[in-house]
C-alpha cells in the first residue's frame, strides 16, 4: 500500500525540466511551490510508514488498540521495559545464576588506578587496538580493552563521587555507571557467577548482587536499586587519541598478568571467540536475525528498547528510524569511529537525513550537520542542534536474551530509503 501510494504521488508530481541543472529555471515559482508541496507529502508518507510500523509492533507484542492510537498521536506508552518491573521479576534472576568455576576475587577489580598521558600510552598501543572512552565529570578517560579484560571493573572517585567502569568480555558488554548512590559510593567487584553469559557484580558496601548489563541490584539489601549510566564509546586507540588528546589513559597495573594476551582471543582475529558462533555459557533464549556476536549499540529511551547493528550504520552512513513515537537518527562518526544517536525532531515534524557527497544533510533545508555533535554547521539551520542519546555496547545474543522485546535496526522501525529524496520527482539532476 505504501509503495503504491508513493508511486502515485511521484507520477502526480512529475514534470520535465529539460537538461539544465538549475532547479528554478523556466517557471521558478511553479517549481518552488511543487518542491514545498513535495516536502509536505514526504512528511505525510513518513507518518504513514510510522503507522504501519506501529501496526507491525502491536501485532508482535500484543499492545491494545487504544495504546496503538496513543502511539500514532505521538504519546508515549511504555509497553516494554529494559529492567524488571517488579520485585518478583528481580528475584527470578537469582534462579538463573550460573557458576563459572571462577571464585570471588579471582578477577580483581581496580580501585583508583594510575593513569598516563596520551604521549605515554602511545608507546605501548597500536592505532588498531580496541579502547573504551568514558566521559567522566572531570573529562574523558581511555581504558584499553587488553587491560579491562583482566579486571572487568574499574572503581573511580571524582570529586568525592564514585563511578564504576565495567566490561564483560564474554558478552562484549561495556557500561559505565554513577555509583555514588546518595553518598554510599559503592565499590564493585566481579562476583564470579553469570546470568545469560553476563557478569554478576557485587558491591563491597552491602554485598548486593548486580547484573553488569542492567546496572540494577537483583539480590541483597540494595535489591531494586539502579545506577545512572555514563556516556561511553567503543573505539580504537588511533581515533581516541586524535579526538581526546588530553584524555587520561589507564596505566598497566603492577603485577605479572599478561596484558598483551587476551584469554578470549583477539578482536583483530576472525577465528577468535569474539567473532565465532560459539557460546561459553548457555543463555535463556536466542534470536537468529543477526549473528550471535554482532556488535550492537543498545539504547533504552522512554520505556522503549532498541539494538542497532553498528556495522549496518557504518555502511549506510545515516539511518532514520522510529523508537516508539520518537524520531531518531543513527549516524556514523568517522572521526571517532563510533555510531551516534540523535533526536531528529528539530522542528514540529522530524527531519530526514542522508549522507550526501560524504556530508550529513537534512533533506528539508539541505543544511549540513556535524555527525560528531549533531550541530548544523552550514545552511538555513546553521547553529541548530539535535539532542544526543548515549547507549551501551553488547553482543546481540546477550542483549536479546535479557531484552527479548527489543526493537532492532535494521528492522521495521527504519524509515525506508524510498521515502528519502533530496529532490522532488521529475527534477533532472543531469
The model's pLDDT over 14-38, given as tens digits with 9 standing for 90+, comes to 433 333 333 333 344 444 444 445 4
Does the domain formed by 1-79+294-430 have CATH 2.102.10.10?
yes
State percent of the chain over pLDDT 70: 78
Average the pLDDT over each of 178-182, 240-244, 255-259 and give the range with the smallest value: 255-259
Taking the alpha carbons of 283, 56, 77, 340 in that order, is the dihedral positive or negative?
positive
- Does pLDDT of 295 surpass 60? yes
H or E stretch covering 361: strand 359-362
More confident residue, 334 or 430: 334
Q: What are the boundaries of each domain within the chain?
A: 1-79+294-430, 87-250
- Does pLDDT of 60 surpass 50? no
H or E stretch covering 162: strand 161-168
Q: pLDDT for 96-149, tens place per residue?
A: 999 999 999 999 999 999 999 999 887 788 999 999 999 999 999 999 999 999
- Does pLDDT of 9 surpass 80? no
- At which residue does the C-alpha cell 555527525 appear? 371
Cβ atoms of residues 312 and 409 within 8 Å = yes
Q: Is 14 helix (H, G, I), strand (E, B) or coil?
A: coil
Q: How many Å apart are CA 280 and CA 117, to the nearest integer?
A: 36
Q: pLDDT for 66-86, tens place per residue?
A: 333 333 333 333 334 445 667
- At which residue does the C-alpha cell 521529475 appear? 426
Return phi, psi of residue 208, to 5°.
Answer: -70, 150
Q: How many Å apart are CA 246 and CA 230, to the nearest integer?
A: 19
Query: How close are the terminal C-alpha atoms of the chain, in Å?
Result: 31
- Does pLDDT of 233 surpass 60? yes
Q: What is the pLDDT of residue 18?
A: 35
Residues in the chain: 430
Q: pLDDT for 309-325, tens place per residue?
A: 999 999 999 999 999 99
Amino acid at each position: 500500500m505504501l509503495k503504491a501510494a508513493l508511486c502515485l504521488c511521484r507520477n502526480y508530481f512529475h514534470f520535465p525540466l529539460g537538461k539544465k541543472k538549475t532547479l528554478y529555471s523556466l517557471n521558478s515559482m511553479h517549481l518552488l511551490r511543487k518542491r514545498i508541496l513535495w516536502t509536505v507529502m514526504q512528511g505525510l508518507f513518513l507518518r504513514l510508514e510510522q503507522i504501519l510500523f506501529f501496526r507491525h509492533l502491536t501485532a508482535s507484542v500484543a499492545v491494545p488498540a487504544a495504546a496503538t492510537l496513543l502511539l500514532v498521536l505521538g504519546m508515549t506508552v511504555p509497553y516494554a521495559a529494559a529492567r524488571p518491573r517488579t520485585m518478583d521479576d528481580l528475584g527470578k534472576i537469582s534462579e538463573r545464576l550460573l557458576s563459572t568455576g571462577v571464585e570471588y576475587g579471582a578477577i580483581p577489580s581496580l580501585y583508583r588506578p594510575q593513569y598516563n598521558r596520551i604521549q605515554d600510552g602511545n608507546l605501548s598501543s597500536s592505532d588498531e587496538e580496541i579502547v573504551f572512552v568514558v566521559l567522566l565529570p572531570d573529562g574523558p578517560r581511555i581504558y584499553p580493552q587488553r587491560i579491562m579484560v583482566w579486571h572487568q571493573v574499574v572503581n573511580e572517585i571524582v570529586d568525592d563521587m564514585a563511578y564504576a567502569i565495567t566490561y564483560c568480555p564474554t558478552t562484549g558488554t561495556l557500561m559505565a555507571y554513577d555509583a555514588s548512590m546518595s553518598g554510599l559510593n559503592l565499590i564493585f567487584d566481579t562476583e564470579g557467577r553469570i546470568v545469560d553469559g553476563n557478569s554478576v557484580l557485587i558491591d563491597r558496601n552491602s554485598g548486593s548482587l548486580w547484573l553488569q548489563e542492567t546496572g540494577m541490584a537483583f539480590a541483597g539489601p540494595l535489591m531494586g536499586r539502579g545506577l545512572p549510566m555514563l556516556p561511553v564509546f567503543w573505539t580504537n586507540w588511533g581515533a581516541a587519541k586524535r579526538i581526546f588528546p588530553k584524555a587520561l589513559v589507564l596505566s598497566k597495573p603492577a603485577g605479572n598478568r599478561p596484558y598483551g594476551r587476551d584469554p578470549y582471543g583477539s578482536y583483530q582475529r576472525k577465528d577468535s571467540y569474539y567473532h565465532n558462533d560459539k557460546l561459553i555459557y548457555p543463555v535463556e533464549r536466542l534470536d537468529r536475525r543477526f549473528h550471535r556476536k554482532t556488535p550492537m549499540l543498545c539504547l533504552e529511551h522512554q520505556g522503549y528498547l532498541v539494538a542497532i547493528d553498528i556495522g549496518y550504520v557504518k555502511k549506510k552512513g545515516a539511518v532514520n528510524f522510529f523508537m516508539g513515537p520518537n524520531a531518531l537518527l543513527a549516524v556514523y562518526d568517522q572521526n571517532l569511529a563510533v555510531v551516534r544517536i540523535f533526536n531528529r525532531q528539530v522542528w514540529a515534524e522530524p527531519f530526514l537525513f542522508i549522507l550526501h557527497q560524504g556530508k550529513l544533510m537534512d533533506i528539508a533545508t539541505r543544511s549540513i550537520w556535524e555527525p560528531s555533535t549533531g550541530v548544523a554547521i552550514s545552511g538555513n539551520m546553521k547553529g541548530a542542534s539535535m539532542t544526543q542519546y548515549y547507549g551501551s555496547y553488547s553482543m546481540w545474543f546477550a542483549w536479546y536474551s535479557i531484552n527479548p522485546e527489543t526493537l532492532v535496526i535494521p528492522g521495521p522501525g527504519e524509515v525506508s530509503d524510498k521515502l528519502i529524496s533530496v529532490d522532488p520527482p521529475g527534477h533532472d539532476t543531469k
